[in-house]
């Protein structure tokens, strides 16, 4: 009798890109013959944000998939977008011993239970913290994370943007851009996207920029798509709330973004001109 493979997937909750990546890859696997059982440890709040994305609908409703609510890092009750105010020390991992394969997107602590886990990502959180002027007592965390790399885990990351530690401290397997859509049409529109991303610390000055655009009536040649968190309660009709759908990216000619890997991939695949911004001490973004 054949026994179905049991796969555990664990994704980081900081930003939307980690969850989006594992959903996209898992949906592709399921559509191309994977018959095993999948337990996906993901923040359900992120699933909610992606609920209109066809791959997410397919993923969460698939009979082989069970989604378990899991949040790391934990956000304080005060709710913050500041990276260093989140709880990176505490993590409540499930028992991973009964799975045939464990896949973790940017959470190295799984290696404490399973040194054979497959890691995905193009940077490490400890690199981000170690290259920041404000570590907020994360030095011990940084050391423990680097110690875990001594086993040289298998890590799959973007061949263009993977950091030096990813390339040199792991059994690194480079891949190309993640293509979240096969939809592409001739460019006939000149839309522009403004987005600061779910996991960034650039929200305040991005809001100020959008407010300035509105007050000074800096009207673009076509629709200006703006991330919902950046919009005031009232805005002109030449601005629309960004949906981040395939159709929206194809409508755009340019994007002004905090350059997370998912948004960069969408923009490049859709042939958008990228204007990137971030705080000067954002290691991941600057790299």
Compute the average pLDDT of residues 208-226.
Answer: 95
pLDDT band at 11 (very low <50, low <70, confident <90, very high): very high
With residue 6 as reference, give the H or E element that holds it. strand 6-11
For residue range 46-81, list pLDDT tens digits in order.
999 888 888 899 999 999 999 999 999 987 765 666
Question: What pTM was estimated for this model as a whole?
Answer: 0.77
Residue 38 token pair: 């999948």
For residue range 125-145, list pLDDT tens digits in order.
999 888 876 655 788 999 999
In this predicted structure, what is the pLDDT of residue 197?
Answer: 77
In this predicted structure, what is the pLDDT of residue 269?
Answer: 84
Chain Cα centroid distance, residue 258: 12
In a 3-state reduction of DSSP, which class is residue 204? helix
Compute the average pLDDT of residues 118-123.
Answer: 96
What is the rounded distance in angstroms from the CA atom of residue 27 to the CA atom of residue 249?
A: 21
**Lowest pLDDT segment from 14-28, 100-114, 183-197:** 183-197
Residue 139 token pair: 């030095």
pLDDT band at 196 (very low <50, low <70, confident <90, very high): confident
Reply yes or no on whether the pLDDT at 175 is more than 80. yes
Question: Hey, which of 23-32, 104-113, 192-201, 274-283 has the most confident mean pLDDT?
Answer: 104-113
Reply yes or no on whether the pLDDT at 193 is more than 90. yes
pLDDT band at 181 (very low <50, low <70, confident <90, very high): low
Calculate what percentage of the chain has a pLDDT beyond 70: 92
CA dihedral 258, 41, 117, 14 (to 10 degrees): 20
In this predicted structure, what is the pLDDT of residue 203?
Answer: 81
For residue range 222-281, list pLDDT tens digits in order.
999 999 889 999 999 999 999 888 889 989 999 999 888 888 888 988 889 999 998 887
Phi-psi region of 4 (alpha: psi -120 to 50; beta: other; left: phi over 0): beta
In this predicted structure, what is the pLDDT of residue 183?
Answer: 59
Compute the average pLDDT of residues 113-133.
Answer: 91
Neighbour tally for 189: CB within 10 Å: 13
In this predicted structure, what is the pLDDT of residue 98?
Answer: 95
What is the rounded distance in angstroms from the CA atom of residue 109 to the CA atom of residue 93?
A: 8
In this predicted structure, what is the pLDDT of residue 226?
Answer: 96
In this predicted structure, what is the pLDDT of residue 78?
Answer: 57
In this predicted structure, what is the pLDDT of residue 164?
Answer: 94
In this predicted structure, what is the pLDDT of residue 172?
Answer: 98
In this predicted structure, what is the pLDDT of residue 81?
Answer: 64
With residue 25 as reference, give the H or E element that holds it. helix 17-31
Mean pLDDT score across all residues of the chain: 89
């Amino acid at each position: 009798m054949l026994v179905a493979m049991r796969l555990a997937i664990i994704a980081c909750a900081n930003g939307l890109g980690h969850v989006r990546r594992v959903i996209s890859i898992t949906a592709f696997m399921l559509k191309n013959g994977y018959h095993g059982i999948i337990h996906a440890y993901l923040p359900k709040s992120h699933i909610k944000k992606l609920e209109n994305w066809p791959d997410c609908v397919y993923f969460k409703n698939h009979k082989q998939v069970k989604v378990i609510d899991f949040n790391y890092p934990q956000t304080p009750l005060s709710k913050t977008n500041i990276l260093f105010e989140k709880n990176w020390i505490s993590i409540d991992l499930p028992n991973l011993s009964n799975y045939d394969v464990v896949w973790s997107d940017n959470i190295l602590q799984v290696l404490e239970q399973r040194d054979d886990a497959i890691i995905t990502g193009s940077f490490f959180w400890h690199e981000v913290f170690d290259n920041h002027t404000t570590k907020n007592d994360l030095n011990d965390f940084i050391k423990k994370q680097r110690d875990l790399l001594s086993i040289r885990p298998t890590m799959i990351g973007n061949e263009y943007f993977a950091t030096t530690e990813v390339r040199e401290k792991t059994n690194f397997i480079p891949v190309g851009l993640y293509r979240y859509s096969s939809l592409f049409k001739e460019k006939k529109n000149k839309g522009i996207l403004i987005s600061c991303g779910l996991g960034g610390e650039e929200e305040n000055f991005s809001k100020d920029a959008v407010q300035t655009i509105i007050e000074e009536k800096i009207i673009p040649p076509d629709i200006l798509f703006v991330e919902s968190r950046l919009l005031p309660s009232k805005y002109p009709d030449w601005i629309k709330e960004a949906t981040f759908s395939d159709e929206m990216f194809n409508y755009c000619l340019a994007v002004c973004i905090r350059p997370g890997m998912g948004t960069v991939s969408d923009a490049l695949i859709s042939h958008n001109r990228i204007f990137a911004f971030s705080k000067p001490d954002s290691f991941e973004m600057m790299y």
